[in-house]
Structure 1
Amino acid sequence: MNFDIKDPSLAEKGRLRIEWAGRDMPVLSRLKEEFEKEKPLSGLRIGACLHVTTETANLMVVLKAGGAEVTLCASNPLSTQDDVAASLVKNFGIPVFAIRGEDRDTYYAHIKAVLDTHPHITMDDGADLISTLHAERPEQAKEVLGGTEETTTGVIRLRAMARDGALKYPVIAVNDALTKHLFDNRYGTGQSTIDGILRATNRLLAGSVFVVAGYGWCGRGLAMRARGMGARVIVTEVDPLRALEAVMDGFEVMPMEEAAEKGDFFCTVTGDIAVIRKEHFLRMKDGAIVANSGHFNVELDLDGLKEVSKEVRQIRDQVQEYTLTNGRRIYVLAEGRLVNLAAAEGHPSAVMDMSFANQALCCAYLAKHAKELKPQVYVVPQDIDRRVAEMKLSSMGIRIDRLTPEQEKYLSSWEMGT
C-alpha cells in the first residue's frame, strides 16, 4: 500500500481520537452498519481530497465498509491531523497522502497520488482534486462516474466550470444540502472559528469589536457566536439582501474600509479573493488580529500586507506579527488559512455527522444513478437530505408529528379553500 504520512508511530493516538469523534457521529455509525450489509460501493474506487481529521476518518471507514477502495489526501496543507493520517494507514488500511504543513509542491503531489488510483468517484472539499484532474488529466474524466463537493468555495468553482461547459462529469453539491449548510456551516463554523482564534491568541473577546466579512451561513454562525462571547459585532457584505438580514439580526453593517478602523478582531468567511487588502491593513488599530475561516487563504491579501510591512516575525504558534511601515502591528493567524482547522480541530463531530452522512449517501446514489446524470452540478436529492435529518433526530431521541391523510390532501389540493 502506497502512502505518505508524517509518522506511523502516531497511529494509536489517532485511533483513540477517531473513536472519540465517532461517539458523537451516530448517523454515520448507523450508515456503517447498513453499508457493511448492503455493500453499495462494491468494486468502486473513491478518491477523496478532504481535511484529514477525526471526523473525516470516520467517513473513510464507512466508505470502506460499503465496499469501496478509498484513497485520501488533504484539502488544506495546515488542516491535517498527523495522528489521524497514521491511524487510517496502520489501523484501517486506508492509503493517505497528507502531512501537516506540507508545501505547495507536496500538496499537489499528494493530489496527483490520489488521481493515480484512477477513482470512479471524486470527493472534494474546495474542488482542487477535480480541477487538477480536469486541467492536467482530462483523459481520466471518462473513468469517473461522478463526484461530490463539500464546501461553498468548491461549489462556486464547480458551477463556474459547468457554466463554461468545462465540467466533464456530474457532481453533487453536498454543501448545499439543508442538513449540511444550515448546521455545519452555521453552528460548526461559528463554534470552531472562535475556538481557533482563542487557542491561537488567548485574547478576551468580551468588550471587543469583532468584524465578520461575509454573512452567508458561515458568517451568520460566526457573528452569532462572537456576540455570544460578548463582542460587539460588525458585518461587512457586498450582497444587499445579506447585509439587510445582518441589520435585522441586530448587527452593525458597513464597508470594510470603515470597519478596518474599528475592529479588534477580523475574520473573513466569504469564499472570495482579497477581501481584506493592504489599504484595509493600513487603517487597522495597533494590535488588530486578522484571521480567515473561508476555504483558501486568498481571502486575505497577504502579499499586499508584506508590501506595507517592514518586519514579520512568528510571535506565537499560529500567530505572525506584521509591523507596518506606519509602526502599527497586525497579527495574522494560521498564515491566513482556515483558522478553525489550522489552530483548532475543525467542526465538532456532531455537525460533521450530518455532512458526512450526506457524503456517504451521495456516493451510494452516484453508484446507482451517475450514468443517468449530465455533467453539471446537482443538489443533494431531497430524500437523502430528509433521511439524514430523520436519522439525526432519531439518534437524539426526538420524535416529531406526521401529517394526517386529511392534512396531506389539503396541502396537495386547491379545492378545499378556506
Structure 2
Amino acid sequence: MTGKQEQGTPHDHLVEQGIQKIRWAEMHQRLLQRLREQFSETKPFTGLTICICLHVEPKTAVLCSVLQAGGAKVVITGSPGTTKNDVAAALKHDGVIVYGQQEDDSTRHQEHIRQVLSHDPHLLLDNGADLVANDSPLKLIMENEHGVGPTIVEGFMRETNLLVQSRSFVVFGYGSVGRGIARCLRRLGGQVTVVELDPIRALEAVLDGMRVTTLEEALGIGEVFFTATGRPGVIAGDSFDHLPDGAILANAGHFSWEIDIAELRQRATAMERLREWVEIFTLKDGRRITLLAQGEMLNLAGGGGNPIETMDLGLALQAQSLAYLVAHHRDLPPGPQPVPAEINATIARWMVEHLSRRVPLEARQN
C-alpha cells in the first residue's frame, strides 16, 4: 500500500493515520506480498470490477491493494461497527471506492450494499455470506480457530479488565470459532460450558473437557456469554428472563443478530456506558446486563481483530480463489465452488515457510 503523505487538515491526518496502520499490517502479510508480485506481472483482473463486503481494517486494505495491482477496480463496504474510518480514508486516497464508516447502523449498511452493487461487479467477495473461502480447511484452522478465538478472549479482557480464571463462561456454538474461544478460555483457567446442537460437535466439546448442556441450563450458570453460531436470535425472547444479574454478553459471529439487541434495549429501563465498548442495561426487575461492543464482533469492533498472519492466510486464499475463478469460470459448473486442493496446498506451504523461517519446502525435497 502506498500513498502520498499529506498534512494540514483533520482529513489529511486521518489518511496518514490509516496509511501507517496499513503499512504495519503489510510488513507482516508475506503471502499477500507474494501475490502482489505475481498479480503485478500477470494482471489477472485487468478490466474487471471486484466488489467486496468485508471488514474495512488494515489487513483487508492490503488485500484491496493486491487486487488493484492485479488490474482490478475495487469497490468495498464493511460491516456496521467494525469499519476503521482512518483505513477507509486511506483506501479512498489510493483509489479504492469505499462506502461506509464505523458509525453506520444496519439500515445504512444495506444502503451501502446497494451502492456497491450499482458498480456492476464482475466478481463479488462477500465474507459475510461465506461464499469465497470459508470452507477451506486452512481458514477454519488458522483464521477461525487460532485467530478469531483467542482475539475474542483478548477483547473481553481488554474491554472489561476482568479476570478469566475461575469465571464461568458459556460459549454458544462449537464450530471453529466457538472451539477456539472455549479452548482459549479453558487454557487461561476459565470454567467453560458449551451449548451445541450438533451431536458430533457436542461430543468433541466433551472430549475437549468442556461441560455441554442446554441453553436453558447454561443461562442459569454462566457469568459471561459468547455467541459464535452464525445464526440470529441465539440470545433472545425469554432468554433475557433467565440471565443472572451482572451477566456479560459478547458476540463473535459475523453479524450482531445473534443477540437480540433491539429487545434488550426495549426491556431496559436505563442504559449507561461506563467504558467505550461497555454498555450496561438495567431491566425492570433491577437486573443489570452488560453488552460488549454493541453486539458486533468483539475482536474487531473494540480492537484490531485477528492476528495479522492469520488474516494474511485467509485473505491470500480469497485472492487466489478470485484469480482461479477468472481463469477457469468457463469450465466450472454453476454453484458454490470449493477452494481447489492445489490452492490450499500452495498457501499452506507458503505459510509453513514463513512461520518456520526455513528454506522453501521444494528445496528441502530436492
Normalising by structure 2, what TM-score?
0.92
Q: 1:313 to 1:347 in 2, by over 3 A?
A: same
2:127 is the counterpart of 1:125: yes
Alignment map for 1:10-409 (pairs within 5 Å): 10-74=14-78, 76-90=79-93, 92-126=94-128, 154-155=129-130, 173-396=132-355, 397-398=357-358
Give the Cα–Cα distance (whole angstroms) in 2 for the partners of residues 301 and 318 of structure 1.
17
Moved more, 351-360 or 368-377: 368-377
Give the Cα–Cα distance (whole angstroms) in 2 for the partners of residues 69 and 279 of structure 1.
47
- Is this contact kept in 2: 1:256–1:276, CA < 8 A? no
Query: Structure 1, residues 345-380: CA drift from partner, whole Å, max 9, x if none?
Result: 111110001101111111111111112223311110
Query: Structure 1, residues 103-158: CA drift from partner, whole Å, max 9, x if none?
Result: 333322222222122110011021xxxxxxxxxxxxxxxxxxxxxxxxxxx23xxx
Give the Cα–Cα distance (whole angstroms) in 1 for the partners of residues 277 and 240 of structure 2.
19
Give the Cα–Cα distance (whole angstroms) in 2 for the partners of residues 56 and 246 of structure 1.
32
AA partner of residue 51 (structure 2): G
- Is this contact kept in 1: 2:353–2:360, CA < 8 A? no
Q: Does the residue aligned with 1:118 lie in a helix, a strand or coil?
A: coil
Give the Cα–Cα distance (whole angstroms) in 2 for the partners of residues 66 and 303 of structure 1.
43
Pairwise CA distance, 1:225: 1.1
AA partner of residue 339 (structure 1): L
Give the Cα–Cα distance (whole angstroms) in 2 for the partners of residues 38 and 195 of structure 1.
40
Give the Cα–Cα distance (whole angstroms) in 2 for the partners of residues 109 and 118 of structure 1.
16
- Is this contact kept in 2: 1:393–1:399, CA < 8 A? no
- Is this contact kept in 1: 2:236–2:259, CA < 8 A? yes
Pairwise CA distance, 1:198: 2.2
Give the Cα–Cα distance (whole angstroms) in 2 for the partners of residues 8 and 266 of structure 1.
40
Pairwise CA distance, 1:174: 0.3
Q: Mark the runs of 5 or more structure 1 residues left unpaired by the alignment.
A: 1-5, 127-153, 156-171, 406-418
Query: Structure 1, residues 317-340: CA drift from partner, whole Å, max 9, x if none?
Result: 122211122211110112211111
Normalising by structure 1, what TM-score?
0.81
Give the Cα–Cα distance (whole angstroms) in 1 for the partners of residues 175 and 335 of structure 2.
23
Give the aligned CA root-mean-square deviation in angstroms.
Answer: 1.9
Q: Which residue is equivalent to 2:5? A: none
Give me the identity figure in percent: 39
Pairwise CA distance, 1:9: 3.5
Q: 1:401 to 1:115 in 2, by over 3 A?
A: closer
Q: Does the residue aligned with 2:238 lie in a helix, a strand or coil?
A: helix
- Is this contact kept in 1: 2:240–2:264, CA < 8 A? yes
Pairwise CA distance, 1:399: 6.2
AA partner of residue 40 (structure 2): E
Q: Does the residue aligned with 2:134 lie in a helix, a strand or coil?
A: helix
